[in-house]
Amino acid sequence: MSVDYEDLAKRIAALTAGETDEVALMATLACEIHHSDDRFDWTGFYRVTEPELLKIGPYQGGHGCLVIPFSRGVCGAAARERQTQLVADVEAFPGHIACASSTRSELVIPVFAKRGVIAVLDIDSDQPDAFTQRDADALEAILADVFGEL
């Protein structure tokens, strides 16, 4: 199964219309995104809870790391640099944090609201080189639609 981003965006828009609670939105997106594609082994959010620190938020899949500093890992890099991280091979990423030994590739996208970066969306795959720029672009657009006005 490969994700149909047009359908996913419409479904998420319908499910989240009028909602302003960030955790409720993250929970809904984690569920919808995770179940939209077989490549997605772990899908979730790490929330900015204090300066330079991410804590686990709503997710789908096995256990995740509870706390990630901005200075470590793919998630930290996305939050620190405020840029999407598309990692074909997590073993080759300097400072990668192995929250799950099965993770082979990763896509992490910063989540922006009016006040700045509020979280990162982390998607792990047990397949190497599982993600494309198309995935990144489509998910960035969905996140902007959902969180951009908060």
Structural domain for 10, as ranges: 5-147
Helix (H, G, I), strand (E, B) or coil at 55: strand
pLDDT tens, the chain, 150 aa long: 689 999 999 999 999 999 999 999 999 999 999 999 999 999 999 999 999 999 999 999 999 999 999 999 999 999 999 999 999 999 999 888 888 889 999 999 999 999 999 999 999 999 999 999 999 999 999 999 999 999
Q: Which of 132, 146, 122, 141 is nearest to 65 (CA)?
A: 122
Look up the CATH number of the domain holding residue 142: 3.30.450.40
Per the structure, how many domains does the chain have? 1
pTM over 0.95: yes
